């Protein structure tokens, strides 16, 4: 079977690599070995090149790229920073998002990852209008501030699971930005449905009773029902709402006019894209700060200086946010060292040549960006947690920084996400001290997560 599968995918000019078993491919190895899977494949290729001068020459010239069969699809894995950049910058040449079917089914066909070309441009434009710098300054930041103050109340003298807390925080904060005061009435019913939706997107698309996929599809239906009710209520009441939904519904003041289906998928996009990224970065920042007291001390100094100039009830404003240089550095260093995003998925809409190798139509490309986060030339002593390195602003604009993706799909929520995590850290470090209860394990691949939670004992600062 192994041989048959190799023969089946034998085509002149494909990158080197093995295809594993029919159907399953090398998925088990990929998931079990994680980052080592990529390293092992590369080592195997390097071993093979000794017997093939041609392969040696092509690897030397065309970099780290191999073929495999993972997560149900023939896939090219690219670890080559230059090629990764090229792929991200050239969607128009037939390199479109290649996320799994379960994700597309559950997130909707107007979800940003499901649309290309002019529709993508339109949906992205509509999204950017909601989270522009002006919107952040005038509406989103005040909402985030108000939310964080309350969410972070009464944590002292308690043992909390910071993973659970940051997950709820990311979701409820986004929900409040979307639906304002109405979010309070729906949040309790919304939260469990949303968690089911997320699990469904990460599952195999098997619609049998009891599967995560089926539960995810059902959760999508329930979420659509809740959002439709909200939209109808808003239309009936005619009150002016200053939140994202209010803006989406006021077509007269909006350059981008969306149908109700598009509005719903746009809301699900915002909730889904910012959820795991913001929550996991916040959790890992808490973890790294705990393990590095000198960083925590510097961070706390920055936030206490901001608080000193304010009355307790004064919110964080854009000037405060801009002054949080060290906080921003902590967030970048956390994203880098924890590698919150290992890479992004693309697929080819036609056969093409990449780095002199043939990539057939419909193959996935795993733009694997993890390794670049540990490049000793870009980040000296790459395994140490050193936020100070980001105070040199040129690091944020270097061309191989893929923490927020790149090209036409670069994260539009980057500054919003940073604003949320910074506000969370502000109230967390100025109000509390904490220590880990201990014994919790952390998984780094395929997602960063603490399988049994990350428990900390919190006391007032």
In the complex, least distance from residue 437 CB atom to ligand HEM, rounded to whole angstroms: 26
Nearest one of 169, 222, 229 to 197, comparing CA atoms: 222
Q: Is 409 in the site for ligand HEM (CB under 6 A)?
A: yes
DSSP type of residue 256 = S
DSSP 379: S
Mapped onto helix, strand or coil, the DSSP state of residue 437 is: coil
Q: Give the nearest distance from C-beta 280 to ligand HEM in angstroms.
A: 8
Which residue among 77, 79, 112, 198 contacts ligand HEM (CB under 6 A)? 112
Q: Are 396 and 338 a contacting pair, CB within 8 Å? A: no
Decide whether 215 or 346 has the Cβ nearer to ligand HEM: 346
Q: Among 74, 57, 71, 70, which residue's Cα sits nearest to residue 14?
A: 74
DSSP 8-class letter at 452: T
Which DSSP symbol is given to 344?
E
C-beta closer to ligand HEM: residue 59 or 270: 270
Check binding of 108 to ligand HEM (CB under 6 A): no
> CA-CA distance, 300 to 297, in Å (whole number)?
5
Dihedral, CA of residue 366, residue 370, residue 371 and residue 376, to nearest 10: 150
Distance in angstroms (rounded) separating the CA atoms of residues 220 and 201: 10
Which positions from 342 to 371 touch ligand HEM by CB under 6 A, shown as an x/- string? --x---------------------------
205 binds ligand HEM (CB under 6 A): no
From 41, 64, 335, 339, residue interacting with ligand HEM (rule: CB under 6 A): 335
Of residues 368-407, those binding ligand HEM (CB under 6 A): 403-405
340 counts as binding ligand HEM under rule CB under 6 A:
yes
Cα separation, 204 vs 297, whole angstroms: 45
Q: Closest separation between CB of residue 97 and ligand HEM, Å?
A: 5
417-to-149, 162, 281, 318, 330 alpha-carbon distances in Å: 17, 18, 10, 14, 13
Among residues 82 and 435, whose Cβ is nearest to ligand HEM?
82
**Which candidate, 204, 443, 453, places its Cα nearest to that of 342?**
443
Helix or strand (DSSP H, E) at 4: helix 2-8
The packing angle between helices 293-308 and 325-338, to 10°, is 150
**351 within 8 A of 13, measured Cβ to Cβ:** no
Residue nearest to ligand HEM (CB): 413
| Residue 296: how many other CB atoms lie within 10 Å | 18
Binding marks (x or -) toward ligand HEM, 73..102, rule CB under 6 A? ------------------------x-----
The candidate with the shortest Cα–Cα distance to 192, out of 145, 226, 160, is 226
CB-nearer residue toward ligand HEM: 212 or 369 = 369
Output the smallest distance, CB 266 to ligand HEM, in A: 9
**Which residues sit opposite 326 in a β-bridge?**
none
Question: What is the nearest approach in angstroms of ligand HEM to the Cβ of residue 417?
Answer: 3
**Minimum Å distance from CB 224 to ligand HEM?**
19
Provide the minimum distance between the beta carbon of 208 and ligand HEM in the complex, in angstroms, as a whole number.
29
Is 448 near ligand HEM (CB under 6 A)? no
3-state DSSP call for residue 348?
A: strand
Provide the greatest CA pair distance for the chain: 74
Is the Cβ of residue 344 or residue 458 nearer to ligand HEM in the bound state?
A: 344
Contact status, residue 207 vs residue 247, Cβ threshold 8 Å: no
Asked if 169 is part of the footprint of ligand HEM (rule: CB under 6 A), the reply reads no
The binding site comprises: 411
Annotated binding site for heme: 411
The site map against ligand HEM for 258-287 (x = CB under 6 A) is -----------xx--xx--xx--x------
Q: Which is nearer to ligand HEM, 136 or 458 (CB)?
A: 136
State which of residues 144, 341, 425, 450 lies at the interface with ligand HEM (CB under 6 A): 341
Q: Does position 131 bind ligand HEM by CB under 6 A? A: yes
Question: Quick one: how many helices (H) and strands (E) in the chain?
Answer: 18, 10
Cα separation of 362 and 441, whole Å? 38
Could you tell me how many residues of this chain bind ligand HEM (CB under 6 A)? 26
Which CB, 59 or 450, lies closer to ligand HEM? 450
Q: In whole angstroms, what separates CA 456 from the centre of its chain?
A: 24
Which is nearer to ligand HEM, 27 or 369 (by Cβ)? 369
Calpha distance 99→182 (Å, rounded): 32
**Binding residues for ligand HEM restricted to 41-70, rule: CB under 6 A:** none
Binding of ligand HEM at residue 103 (CB under 6 A)? no
Residue 51: strand, helix, or coil:
coil
Closest distance of CB 230 from ligand HEM, Å: 19
Contacts with ligand HEM by CB under 6 A lie at 97, 112-113, 124, 127, 131, 269-270, 273-274, 277-278, 281, 335, 340-341, 344, 403-405, 409, 411-413, 416-417
């Amino acid at each position: 079977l192994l041989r048959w599968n190799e023969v089946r995918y034998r085509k002149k000019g494909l990158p080197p690599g093995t295809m594993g078993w029919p159907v399953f491919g090398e998925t088990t190895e990929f998931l079990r070995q994680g980052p080592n899977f990529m390293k092992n494949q590369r080592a195997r290729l390097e071993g093979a090149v000794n017997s093939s001068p041609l392969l040696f020459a092509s690897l030397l010239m065309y970099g780290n790229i191999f073929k495999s069969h993972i997560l149900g699809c023939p896939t090219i894995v690219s670890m080559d920073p230059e090629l990764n950049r090229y792929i991200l910058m050239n969607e128009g040449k037939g390199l479109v998002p290649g996320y799994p079917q379960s994700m597309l089914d559950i997130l909707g066909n107007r979800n940003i990852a499901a649309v290309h070309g002019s529709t993508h441009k339109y949906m992205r434009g509509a999204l950017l209008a909601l989270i522009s710098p002006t919107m952040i300054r005038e509406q989103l930041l005040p909402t985030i501030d108000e939310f964080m103050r309350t969410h972070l109340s009464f944590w002292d003298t308690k043992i909390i699971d910071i993973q659970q807390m940051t997950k709820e925080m990311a979701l409820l904060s986004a929900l409040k930005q979307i639906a304002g005061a109405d979010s309070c009435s729906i949040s309790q019913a919304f939260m469990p449905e949303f968690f089911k939706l997320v699990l469904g997107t990460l599952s195999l698309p098997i619609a049998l009773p009891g599967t995560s996929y089926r539960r995810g599809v059902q959760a999508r239906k329930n979420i659509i029902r809740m959002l439709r009710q909200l939209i109808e209520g808003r239309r009936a009441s005619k009150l002016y709402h200053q939140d994202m939904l209010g803006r989406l519904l006021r077509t007269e003041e909006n350059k981008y006019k969306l149908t109700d289906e598009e509005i719903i998928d746009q809301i699900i996009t915002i909730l889904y894209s910012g959820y795991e990224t913001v929550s996991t970065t916040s959790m890992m920042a808490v973890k790294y700060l705990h393990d590095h007291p000198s960083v925590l001390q510097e961070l706390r100094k920055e936030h206490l200086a901001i608080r000193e100039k304010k009355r307790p009830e004064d919110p964080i404003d854009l000037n405060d946010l801009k002054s949080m240089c060290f906080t921003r550095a902590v967030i970048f260093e956390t994203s880098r060292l924890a590698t919150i995003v290992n890479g992004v998925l693309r697929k080819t809409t036609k056969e093409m040549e990449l780095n002199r190798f043939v990539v057939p139509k419909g193959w996935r490309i795993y733009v694997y960006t993890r390794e670049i986060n540990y490049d000793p030339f870009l980040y000296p002593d790459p395994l140490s947690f050193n936020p100070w390195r980001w105070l040199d602003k040129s690091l944020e604009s270097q061309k191989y920084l893929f923490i927020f993706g790149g090209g036409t799909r670069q994260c539009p929520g980057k500054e919003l996400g940073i604003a949320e995590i910074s506000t969370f850290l502000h109230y967390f470090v100025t109000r509390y001290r904490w220590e880990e209860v201990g014994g919790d394990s952390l998984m780094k691949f395929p997602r960063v997560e603490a399988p049994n939670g990350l428990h900390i004992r919190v006391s007032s600062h």
